[in-house]
Amino acid sequence: MVAAATETPRDLLIACRAEYPELELAAGAFLAFVTDRVPANTTLTDSCAADLYLAFGCLQGHPEALRAFDSRFGADLDRVLAGLGRRGLDDDAKQILKLRLFVGSTAKIATYTGRGPLRRWVRVAATRLALEVMRTKEQPADDWAVAALPDGSDDPELAYFKAHYKAALKTAFTDALAKLTERQRTLLAQYHVDELTIDQLGALYGVHRVTAARWVARAQIQLRQTMLDLLQERIGISPDELRAVTRLVRSQLTISLRALRPVKKRRR
């Protein structure tokens, strides 16, 4: 990474795109982003300009930017969380941290100004956010808010549905769950929340493990299909859109099931 200085908008864009050739961001929007954060007559180094370019891409939810961020700074986030002890290692901790960094009107990455290396900024900002979460004993992030968090592996179609249908997905999940039988809801909670194995469920209900596995699979399939039916009815998605929504439902159903309140384990 070079340390030369960028003096014109053209120089700035050349430096940024040389560092991230796979990342195509709107030049005008990026330059406005820089203008809002960098004082007039301030000269950025090429490295800090490229860091601003990456920060802007992450703020936009651009998949390539998020992939690049994870590649370069994911280990830094892990170290920050590991340094906070047991709570920092919880499954929700990194999701909450990334949610705070990248999502919403208060996304922390929007405050990066290019005055120093992004890596140093990430370590400081992540530490402050993580300490704040631990200190306030924040509840786990809303699961469908986490589901809407852009991921570096998302294609543009999936990223679009995450951003635009979060509320509809959450409502469909709640309504579809209510349509299951009591035993189906209990089974799903026992499997996903209480983390009972198929063998344990079989012993609990006095049936063969194959039967227990079939019950769990049927409940999950019914829940997913009911969600899709409700979404198609409520938001009028086309067959092509339905394929993308189906992928999103499949990928996020388990995390939402894990958020179910534990239910008492009982025999039939």
263: which 2 tokens? 């239910």
Cα gap 31→37, rounded to integer Å: 10
Q: Name the strand (E) or helix (H) holding 45.
A: strand 44-45
What end-to-end distance do the CA atoms of the chain give, in Å? 64
Give yes or no for residue 178 having a pLDDT over 80.
Answer: yes
Q: Name the strand (E) or helix (H) holding 39.
A: none
What pLDDT, on a 0 to 100 scale, did the predictor assign at position 247? 66
pLDDT in tens, 156-176: 655 666 666 677 777 888 888
Question: Per-domain residue ranges for the chain?
Answer: 5-136, 156-257
Which of the pair, 267 or 81, is modelled with greater confidence? 81
Q: In the CATH scheme, what architecture does the domain 156-257 have? A: Orthogonal Bundle (1.10)
Which of the pair, 83 or 226, is modelled with greater confidence? 226
Of 134, 141, 120, nearest to 47 by C-alpha is 120
pLDDT in tens, 223-247: 888 888 888 888 776 666 666 677 6
What pLDDT, on a 0 to 100 scale, did the predictor assign at position 158? 58
What pLDDT, on a 0 to 100 scale, did the predictor assign at position 155? 57
Task: Please provide the DSSP assignment of 188-248 as one string.
Answer: HHHHHTS---HHHHHHHHTS-HHHHHHHHHHHHHHHHHHHHHHHHHHH---HHHHHHHHHH
Give yes or no for residue 214 having a pLDDT over 50.
Answer: yes
What pLDDT, on a 0 to 100 scale, did the predictor assign at position 100? 82
Give yes or no for residue 89 having a pLDDT over 80.
Answer: no
What pLDDT, on a 0 to 100 scale, did the predictor assign at position 38? 80
Contact indicator for 154, 58 with CB cutoff of 8 Å: no
| Residue showing tokens 């067959």 | 239
Give yes or no for residue 139 having a pLDDT over 60.
Answer: no
Q: Which long-range contacts (CB under 8 A, 24 or more apart) does 196-205 make?
A: 196/265, 204/265, 204/267, 205/267, 205/268
What pLDDT, on a 0 to 100 scale, did the predictor assign at position 236? 76
Helix axis angle, 198-205 relative to 209-235, nearest 10°?
A: 110
**Phi and psi at residue 259, in whole multiples of 5°?**
-90, 0
Residue 44, beta-bridge partner list = 6
Lowest mean pLDDT among 26-40, 108-122, 203-217, 242-256: 242-256
Measured at the CA of 18, the angle between CA 104 and CA 49, to 5 degrees, comes to 50
What pLDDT, on a 0 to 100 scale, did the predictor assign at position 266? 41
What pLDDT, on a 0 to 100 scale, did the predictor assign at position 54? 92
Residue 101 makes CB contacts below 8 A (sequence gap 6+) with: 58, 107, 108, 109, 125, 126, 129
Q: What's the mean per-residue pLDDT of the chain? A: 76
User: Band of the pLDDT at 55, cuts 50, 70, 90?
Assistant: very high
